Amino acid sequence: MEASVTLAVYPAAALGALTDRALRESLASLDPDAVLAERPRDGARLDAVAGDARVLRAARLDTGVVAGDSGPQLACVSTPRGLGTLRGHEERGDLDAASETYVLSDALAVDVDLTALETTLDGRAAYEDALREAALDGSYTHLTTNADPGYRNDWDGLAVAGVWPGASETSATPSARLAAVSLYGDGTVASETYDPGRFGLRGLDGVGPTRAATLREAGYETKAAVAASDPGDLQACEGLGATTERTIRYSAKARREGVAYRTSAERLPGNDPVFIDIETDGLSPTMIWLIGVYDSRTEAYRSFLATDPEAKGRAVAAFAEWYATHACDRPLVAYNGERFDFPHLDEHIERYCPEHADAWRDAWTFDLLWWASTRDNAVLPGTTNALGDVAAALGWEDANTGLSGAVVGQRFRRWLANPSRATELDWERHERYCEDDVRALAYVYEAVRDADPVPGVAHSDGPRESAATTTTQGTLGDFG
Amino acid sequence: MSEDRLARELTPAALEATYPDAEPDQLAHTETVPAAAAETVPPGDVLPDGLADALDHDLYSHQAAALERLRDGENVTVATSTSSGKTLVYALYYALLKRRDPDARALFCYPTKALSADQERALNDLFRDLGVDASAETYDGDTKAERKPLIRANRDVVVTNFSGVNHYLSNHAKWRDVYANTDLVVIDESHTYTGVHGMHVSWVLRRLRRILDHYGSTPQFVCTSATIGNPGEHSEALVGHEFGVVERDGSPRGRRDIAFWLPRRDDDEGGKSGVGGGRGNGGGGTGVGAGDAPTDADAPTARKRAGAEAASVAGHLGLSGVQTLAFLRSRQGTEIAAKRAREAARDHPLDARLDAKPYHAGLSKQKRRAVENTLKSGRADAVFTTSALELGIDVGGVDATVLAGYPGTRQSFWQQIGRAGRGTSDALSVFVPRRDAIDRYILDDPDYLLGDEIEDAVVDVSNNHVYARHVRCAAEELPLTAADATWFGPRERLERAVSVWRDAGEFVGDLERGAQYDGRPRPQASISLYATTDVEYEVRRVDGDIDMEPIGRERAYRDYHPGALVLYDGEQYEVVDLVEDRHRPYVELERVRTNEYTTTAHEKRIHDVEATRSRDLGGGYSLHAGTGTVEIDYTQYRRHDIGDGTVEGPYPIDLPPIELRTHLTWVELPADMERRVIDALGPDALLDADGAPATDAGWTFAGGLHGAEHGMIKLAPLELRLDNSDMGGLSTPMHAETGAPTWFIHDAVEGGVGFAHSIYDHFEGVAAKTRERVARCDCADPTGCPSCLMSAQCGNDNEPLHRGATTAVLDAVLSRLDAAGDGSESEGSHARDA
């Protein structure tokens, strides 16, 4: 994995929703190099549990380098004038000139005025004056507590990114979420926000604030304790039925043991599924430029890549052709495909290769995430249901490409806007990244297929299927 | 008194003669709309044989005219009376399209879910009767998830509403088959899309047209509208297409008598009027919440509330065998009136049981359906409804309607009146006026209702706040390119919207290569089709539930600051908290029973004024439309006891000022205007400045400006279909930027909604009606009354106001307008988009 610095951000509303155990669990999971707290007393609480991570107070960001010895580094400035001191750090060699440096402050704020149709960066003039005066050599990205994580904009050379959940005026992340902002040496900022409820007992399926309190009162303070409970134990808690109890316990066991459990008799589509993932230039894409395909029948991986901005339909057309010829009788599996991959493939096949549209309309598409999570057919491990989290929890080791979907999209857009050597992507590296995701999906699919059912449920997928279940569900044997 | 006289002779005179203990002057006025014969056309003239044969009746001339224009490929607006068979126009035209192309599909959009359900049944019956192989099904928030894919895959006609369309556009890939085959889009009751709501719907329609175009569809549009002043212009603004207008009504009607019926005198209550208190606009919209405006307490003649009298009249009609539909202003009002009518029936000389039921959107579906059925079958005696039964839900015909107060527009008035009359039989409508300025105006001048003029419906798409948020949705639906200036242009405006969102971190890319949405999922969900900004305050109760739409910030600050008393659905509440330091701000109410209401004082400034259009009237008079920044600081409030008139307070309000960049219309007057007005009034008519920082003359002149501002806002709904609680004003004998005596009228929502500008467009009419009402008001008070100048929304305690000075100011401006004619306008950059 490429070196990165991770900043974890705990707004007061998010921190307040975490018990001490859940807070520790979140820190263990996010593994930050620095932690940003909102109020002074939050800082004190975090100091006690943050271990090696440096705890910063949003209300008082002292100027100085706070994380990273080499590679990407994180510094803070209390006011724009603090930028001048970074010059000293540069001269002393404290800052790695070959790598991006990130400067965190509250000096910049994004102000959206919809009536005037104008977005301005408040504080920009003073900040740029101070920057000019500091005459820094290195490459810098300026982080602000006054914009959401995921916010990124280049203000005529001033690269600004946000870190604070709920800070943006429009379309803000709920402020009761916490954020992990990973900072890479090439200027890539990858952000993820989390519902604090994912940590601690509330991260279990079927457990909200009330049930979490009930469980704690009954002495179940950790997921491990819940996982270790015997059937019937939790039912002693008020208001828990047998089915709910089972869901809660097996959700805890899944998280604890790093395995999946099947909670219904619903079958997965057998029949040699084909696993896919698409790379696009954004969330409502103008171009699907890479489609990774893993065929479980031949155990072969292939990718359909189109790098020419003028040939927007090339990858899609090649894929549709391959699918129609080789796999149209088999299920096509994507992770979160219902929301992303499938509708965009629909759209682009219709637009660029309508000759394959009929075959594509009959395609048997299957969204593993939707099936497991939305349809409640399985409990998955992982801090979130993102593919990377689930696969990692199940034991998948990723290929350390150092890329993420958002970053890949961003880089491809830069290439689209101005195809040149400077903007050209390392195509091979991106193909590897895509392949890694597709193989991770196949891995998760197999883990779910082979997962034990919770007691009282029988499913007939995978090698564990017993003679009895095969008999009772024999008519489903030719499913599909 | 003959007991069945009313059933035999449904006239105002019979009502007066049979009404128990009628007072001599209750029947204040009568009007008769004569019967009209049907104008019909044989269906074979406009329909092919197969369809024409299936119809067992002739078409009305307007139906035939509309079908003819549709067959010529036009988009058509049909603006004819209630129950004139508008549904048949688009149902037949769809049947025609379906015969041409069996894959043809259609989207029928209705303003309410109740109407969708009703029309779905009617459409399927019609298709069956016509032998058309087509089916319609409702797809909205109530549709079960498992039905949805089936409807998208199989139903010829998808029946829905615009709130649904706003959301469904995000999933257009799932709708491919519908969108790719949509040949017809119907916008039923299109006159309901005005103001803020109309502006949102017009953008949803542009987004819809863009997606339809993406799938290769360029459908025809049909709008059906109640009679409004500008049906063609309104449809064009709403949809962005040209429309042919069919408004010559060929349907028959019986003779219709309208009785203007004053409430009984209320000797017991004296001047107190029995109003629950609270602000007239407390319900979050005109017509919602308040019964009579509470300021009626000061009205010169004490009569019973309009709602109480309407209950009594409807009960009397029902008992006399006349099936009656009564329109009340609030849900609670319908419940109270139904109860009151049943109780009153026990003391009624006819001594019979009265079947009286309430009807409103708060009732369960089953209850509503049951009431609709008793109406249809003629079994109900009296039904008390909100405007819910004003729109096209089929209730068959009733014999009589009763209106408790003027519903706000002539179009609504006629729509409600039009509910009476079975086929061509005679019908009676009873209008019971309230005591606010508009009802009074109508009582003074009944011809107003009967003239040809009907209010214009205002749809304005210049509000950038609303525009930008729909552009954001559009980018989520499909990447935006330069070609999208067709829907969201001009190009320069679209470029700015894209750049605003890119700098805000929510878009990536540009119009050359495609601007994509990159923010949190589903930006559609943040759009409320009823507000201009996405900051909405949820309304909660500390002691129970309240079913109320969220309110915008401006209204929250004005009417829902802690300590404010609020009337909603006939119940009184006190605001206990306003919480806004979080993602979803809210106000919290507590149910109270008090005999008080509150008034809120504010300080207002208007600055950074920019005119986009002006009319120089000469002699120092000029009229302007443009934009400006309105700064309102709600500073304190008072509690008024309705019983003894005592006032407590002021109490401070701890809220920061609100700043709105919004639409303005203003009038600048010559510097010596004060002298002219005072000369015209004479020295005896002056107000006593009494401690105010002005001379008596200055104070009186200020009362004229202030009165003109108030009066025009109060009476604007006589000319325009607008919500005057979304407007405000400011008057000043010397404004720093205009450098002249000035009065402003402004929209009270961020970005503007077109109301103030439409007053500019109709200035003469509004000013003339205001002048007339103020001059004719029978209040003896030179400072006016709630029926002419006083406003419950005044931030200045209705001071100073002066009737004589108001008419003098208005007279001067009107005579200038008259002299200047139409040629005086000069354009800056016209703010509205075509």
Residues A127 and A173 in one domain: yes
Is pLDDT at B254 greater than 50 in this prediction?
A: yes
A439 pLDDT above the threshold of 90: yes
Contact A286 B661 (CB under 8 A): no
Mean pLDDT is lowest, of A91-95, A235-239, A382-386, for A235-239
Report the CATH number at residue A381. 3.30.420.10
pLDDT digits (tens, 9 = 90+) for A253-304: 998 889 999 988 888 987 799 999 999 988 888 899 999 999 999 999 999 9
Judged by CB atoms closer than 8 Å, whether chains meet at B509 and A121 is answered as no
A223 plus A322 within the same structural domain? no
Q: What is the dihedral of CA A209, A215, A218, A222, to 10 degrees?
A: -120
Q: Which of A31-40, A453-462, B122-131, B183-192 has the lowest mean pLDDT?
A: A453-462
Beta pairing, strands B742-747 & B727-732: antiparallel
pLDDT value for B827: 64
State the pLDDT at residue B797.
78
**Nearest CA among B484, B492, B472, B490 for reference residue B211:** B484
Say if residues B36 and B213 touch (Cβ distance below 8 Å). Answer: no
Cα–Cα distance between B765 and B748 in angstroms, integer? 22
Q: Among residues B645, B641, B653, which one has the least CA distance to residue B564?
A: B653
Q: Are residues A163 and A33 in the same domain?
A: yes
Q: What mean pLDDT comes out for the span B301-306?
A: 76
Percent of chain B scoring above 70 in pLDDT: 92
A398 in a structural domain: yes
pLDDT at B533: 66
Nearest Cβ partner for B514 among A153, A168, A286: A286
Q: Write the DSSP string, A203-264.
A: GSTT--HHHHHHHHHTT--SHHHHHTPPTTTGGGSTT--HHHHHHHHHHHHHHHHT--EE-S
Quick one: A181 and A41 in the same domain?
A: yes
Average pLDDT (B276-281) is: 31
Q: Name every residue in B having a CB less than 8 A away from some CB of A.
A: 171, 173-174, 176, 463-465, 468-469, 472, 475-479, 493, 496-497, 499-506, 508-510, 513-514, 516-520, 523, 526, 533-534, 582-583, 661, 750-751
Residues A294 and A237 grouped into a single domain: no
Predicted confidence (pLDDT) at residue B273 exceeds the cutoff of 50: no
Kindly tell me if the per-residue pLDDT of B395 is higher than 80.
no
Contact A119 B469 (CB under 8 A): no
Do residues B397 and B423 make contact, with C-beta atoms less than 8 angstroms apart?
yes
A470 in any annotated domain: no
Q: Where are the domains of chain B?
A: 5-33+254-435, 40-246, 464-526, 536-594, 602-827
Mean pLDDT of chain B: 86
Instruction: Give the residue-averaged pLDDT of B142-146.
Output: 89
Tell if the CB–CB gap between B509 and A172 is shorter than 8 Å. no
Mean pLDDT, chain A, integer: 87
- Token duo for residue A58: 């949003």
Q: Does A112 touch chain B (CB under 8 A)?
A: yes
Cβ neighbours of residue B319 closer than 8 Å, sequence gap 6 or more: B345, B348, B350, B352, B354, B381
Question: Which residue in this structure is represented by tokens 């779905």?
Answer: B120
Q: Tell me whether residue A109 is in a domain.
A: yes
Q: What is the mean pLDDT of residues B526-544?
A: 78
Residue A42 contacts residue A23 (beta carbons within 8 Å): no
Q: Which residue of B has its CA nearest to A116?
A: B464
Q: pLDDT per residue over B29-45, tens digit each?
A: 999 989 999 999 999 99
pLDDT of residue A86: 93
Sequence-ordered list of residues with C-beta below 8 angstroms from that of B492, at least 6 positions apart, any chain: none
Q: Token pair for residue B238?
A: 């709403």
Q: What angle do CA A444, A446, A450 make, to 5 degrees?
A: 120
Highest mean pLDDT among A84-88, A392-396, B496-500: B496-500
Any domain includes A264 = no
Enumerate residues 6+ apart whose C-beta is below 8 A from A133.
A83, A84
Count of CB atoms situated within 10 Å of the CB of A81: 16
Cβ pairs bridging A and B (under 8 Å): 116
Asked if residues B571 and B581 have their Cβ atoms less than 8 Å apart, the reply is no
Q: Is residue A118's pLDDT more than 60?
A: yes
pLDDT exceeds cutoff 70 at B582: no
pLDDT confidence bin for A480, thresholds 50/70/90? very low
Band the pLDDT of B570: cuts 50, 70, 90. low
Please check whether residue A246 is in contact with residue A304, taking contact to mean a CB–CB distance below 8 angstroms. no
Q: How far is B742 from chain A (nearest CA, A)?
A: 25
- What integer is the mean pLDDT of B459-480? 91
pLDDT at B392: 67
What is the dotted CATH code of the domain comprising B5-33+254-435?
3.40.50.300
Contact A283 B517 (CB under 8 A): yes
Name the band, by pLDDT with cuts 50, 70 and 90, for residue A400. low
Q: What is the DSSP string of B55-73?
A: --SPEEHHHHHHHHHHHTT
Contacts of A121 in chain B (CB under 8 A): 503
Class (C level, CATH) for B464-526: mainly alpha
User: Residue B452: its pLDDT value, please?
Assistant: 66
Note whether residue A455 is domain-resident. no
Task: Say how many Å lie between the first and final Cα of chain A, rounded.
Answer: 40
Range B444-451 average pLDDT:
79
What pLDDT, on the 0 to 100 scale, is given for residue B828?
56
Which of A171, A286, A361 to mutate against chain B (most B CBs within 10 Å)?
A171
Whether residue A381 is preceded by a cis peptide bond, meaning omega within 30 degrees of 0, is no
Per the domain annotation, does A268 fall within a domain? no
pLDDT band for B750, please (50, 70, 90 cuts): confident
Residue, of A46 and B599, whose pLDDT is higher: A46
With 60 as the cut, is the pLDDT of residue B701 above it?
yes
Q: Is there a single domain that holds both residue A244 and residue A290? A: no
What average pLDDT does the segment A178-192 reach? 89
**One domain, residues A444 and A306:** yes
Q: In this model, does residue A467 exceed pLDDT 50?
A: no
pLDDT tens sequence across B774-789:
998 877 788 888 778 8
Taking residues B199-223, report their average pLDDT. 97
pLDDT of residue B294: 39
Answer yes or no: is pLDDT of A366 > 90.
yes
What local confidence, expressed as pLDDT, does residue A98 receive? Answer: 87
Q: How far is B660 from chain A (nearest CA, A)?
A: 9
Give the mean model confidence (pLDDT) for residues B570-582: 83
CA distance A480 to chain B (A): 20
Does the structure show a pLDDT above 90 at B353? no
Count of domains observed in chain A: 3
Same-domain status, A180 and A220 = no
B79-88, B134-143, B454-463 — most confident range:
B134-143
Q: Which of the following CATH numbers is that of domain B40-246: 3.40.50.300, 1.20.1530.20, 3.40.50.720, 1.20.1110.10?
A: 3.40.50.300
The amino acid at residue A146 is N
Nearest to B539 by CA among B304, B207, B285: B285
For residue B15 the two structure tokens come to 């009502």
C-beta of residue A354 within 8 angstroms of C-beta of residue A313: no
The answer to whether A153 contacts chain B (CB < 8 Å) is yes
Q: Which of B322, B749, B300, B328 is nearest to B558 (CA)?
A: B749
In a domain, A331, yes or no: yes
Identify which has the larger pLDDT, B557 or B794.
Answer: B557
- pLDDT of residue B505 exceeding 50: yes
Q: What is the pLDDT of residue B287?
A: 26
Q: How confident is the model at residue B414 (pLDDT cuts 50, 70, 90)?
A: confident
A155 with A174, same domain: the answer is yes
Q: Does residue A372 surpass a pLDDT of 70?
A: yes
Q: Is the confidence at residue B266, as pLDDT, over 80?
A: no
A168 contacts B479? CB cut-off 8 A: no
CB B604, CB B795: distance < 8 Å: yes
A381 pLDDT more than 50: yes
Boundary-marking domain end, from A180, A195, A210: A195
Say if residue A133 is in the same domain as residue A76: yes
pLDDT at residue A130 tops 90 = yes
Q: Which pair of tokens denotes residue B551? A: 């309110």
- pLDDT tens digits for range B361-389: 777 778 888 898 888 888 889 999 988 88
Are B751 and A416 within 8 A, CB to CB? Answer: no
Between positions 272 and 311 of A, the ones with CB within 8 A of B are 281-286, 309
- Find all residues with CB under 8 Å of A201, minimum gap 6, and list them: A22, A207, A211, A212, A215, A216, A220, A221, A222, A223, A226
Whether A176 contacts chain B with CB within 8 A: yes
pTM of the model: 0.80
**Residue A116: is its pLDDT beyond 80?**
yes
Range of the domain at A113: 4-195
Q: Identify from A38, A111, A115 which residue to disrupt to test chain B contact, counting B C-beta atoms within 10 A and taking the largest count.
A: A115
CATH topology identical between B5-33+254-435 and B464-526:
no
| Partners of residue B523 in chain A, C-beta under 8 Å | 171
Q: What local confidence, expressed as pLDDT, does residue B282 receive?
A: 30
**Average pLDDT of the residues in A102-111:** 94
Q: Give domain status of residue A467, yes or no.
A: no
